[in-house]
Structure 1
Amino acid sequence: MRQIHQTCFSRRSVLALGALVFALPRHAIAAGAREITWEDLIPPGVPYSEIIGEGELDEENDSWNPIYDANATKLNEALDGASIRIPGFIVPLEVSPEGVTSFLLVPYVGACIHVPPPPPNQLVVVRSETPWPGDGLWDAVWVTGIMRTELQSTELGKTGYALTANQIEVYDW
């Protein structure tokens, strides 16, 4: 006669399996993301030197208003809908007690705050369900998620890309 073995799982093993299943999609998304650089945001064939514009001084508001040519708003359409991973710095747009949930991802520290903003094809609006801690705003970060090509305006500048973040992590030098 065949003997039937019953398998009994401990509560700990069930919880560990559940945690693994929950973590796998996030890890799979990050592992399948294409790592890009800021240069990749410029469409092929457009030199970086041709996206930088001049500007004008607004003496009344004590600010510098950049004037960009058409190349500054040209976007790399191959990135629309792509799962990407890009490094950058956070400039907060929406902050809660838990942290930052909406921000501009910029290529260098101080962009949009102390100097004129980069051109639209060098700015990414990021939205994240998981807040990034407010004490880590000066750290370089990796942001992983789905990229969209989308010209829009924020209070800090015009942007060319929108990214729904699945993962944000400190950039290790």
Structure 2
Amino acid sequence: MKKRILSIMLSASLSLLLAACGKEKAESATAQADLPANAPAVGTPIQDVAKQADGKPKQGGEYATTAWEDLELPGQGLEDIVKKYQPQIDSIPEGDPAENAVMEKMQSELNSAPVNPALDGKKIKIAGFISPLEVDDKKGMVKEFLLVPYFGACIHVPPPPLNQTLLVKPQEGKSIGMEQMYEPVWVSGTILTKQVHTNLAEAGYQITDAKVEIYQESDAQQQDN
């Protein structure tokens, strides 16, 4: 069970056990049943539905396509931290209270995972999923959201580490409709390495005045050419 949980955390970039934020597995299954039929499975990583380009801007492009790994510092990413604690967790008998203590210590390190200062002020384009913070019911638009690397983060499953969470404030008229918030998106704008607290999670980055578009596979293919 422990190895399976760690595997999920690595492959789907989950930073917490589901129980750590009060979300039981059964609740996740119920949440999935409540989602539209075309919504991704809860916990689906963006890499499974969106082909990331190689980090270079397309010809004549203003924004450099950025992968989620670029938001981490070498040796201090999610995978590195989980691997660091895995031997300790594997050595503790299932159900031993010591296991929770180690998991809490690991989670504390994930929550303080440093951002990449080299990105501050850069114009980037990154694909991800939306966890809405504020919506305009009259216009039917998402006004503010967290961009996260796997579907349902902060709502149906736990939030990612600090350095894998971006607060996004779209340009006027450059956001998406509420009915589209289950789809992967491209976010383009100037990224700031500025931590901010939200009612869903702590974000290590911000992109204000952002342009938000529904992800299209052809977009990534064009940037690879």
Same fold (TM over 0.5): yes
1:88 is matched with 128
Larger Rg: 1
Cα distance, 1:51 vs. partner?
A: 4.3
> Compared with structure 1, are the counterparts of its residues 102 and 43 closer, same or farther at alpha carbon in structure 2 (3 Å cutoff)?
same
User: Unaligned 5+ residue runs, structure 1?
Assistant: 1-29, 57-65
Q: Which residue of 1 is the match for residue 195 of structure 2?
A: 151
| Corresponding residue pairs, total | 136
Report which of the two has the higher share of strand.
Answer: 1
**Cα pair 2:154 2:200 within 8 Å, conserved:** yes
Cross-structure match for 2:52 = none
Task: Kindly indicate whether residue 75 of structure 2 is the aligned counterpart of residue 33 of structure 1.
Answer: no
Q: Aligned partner of 2:214: which letter?
A: V
Q: Which residue of 2 aligns with 1:46?
A: 76
Which amino acid counterpart does residue 144 of structure 1 have in structure 2? S
Q: C-alpha distance in 2, partners of 1:44/1:71?
A: 16
Show CA shifts across 1:23-71 (max 9, x none).
xxxxxxx921111011110013434323458996xxxxxxxxx833167
Rounded to whole Å, the distance in 2 between the matches of 1:170 and 1:120 is 24
Gaps of 5+ in 2: 1-59, 90-98, 101-105, 218-225
Out of 192, 206, 219, the position equivalent to 1:162 is 206
User: 2:159 aligns to what SS in structure 1?
Assistant: coil
SS in 2 for 1:68: helix
Give the partner amino acid of 1:79.
L
Q: Which residue of 2 aligns with 1:18?
A: none
The answer to whether structure 1 residue 103 and structure 2 residue 145 are counterparts is yes
Q: State the structure with bigger RCO (CA 8 A, min sep 6), 1 or 2.
A: 2
CA distance in 1, matches of 2:155, 2:116: 25
State the identity as a percent.
41
Higher helix share: 2
What's the CA shift string for 1:125-154, capped at 9, x where partnerless? 000122321110111000000100011211
Amino acid at match of 1:41: L
How far has the Cα of 1:169 moved from its partner? 1.1
Q: Distance in 1 between matches of 2:128 and 2:111?
A: 22
Indicate which of 79, 85, 108 corresponds to 2:119. Answer: 79
3-state DSSP of counterpart to 2:69 = helix
What CA RMSD, in Å, does the superposition of the two structures yield over aligned residues?
2.6
Q: Which consecutive segments of 4 or more residues in structure 1 shift more than 6 A?
A: 53-56
CA distance in 2, matches of 1:115, 1:149: 25
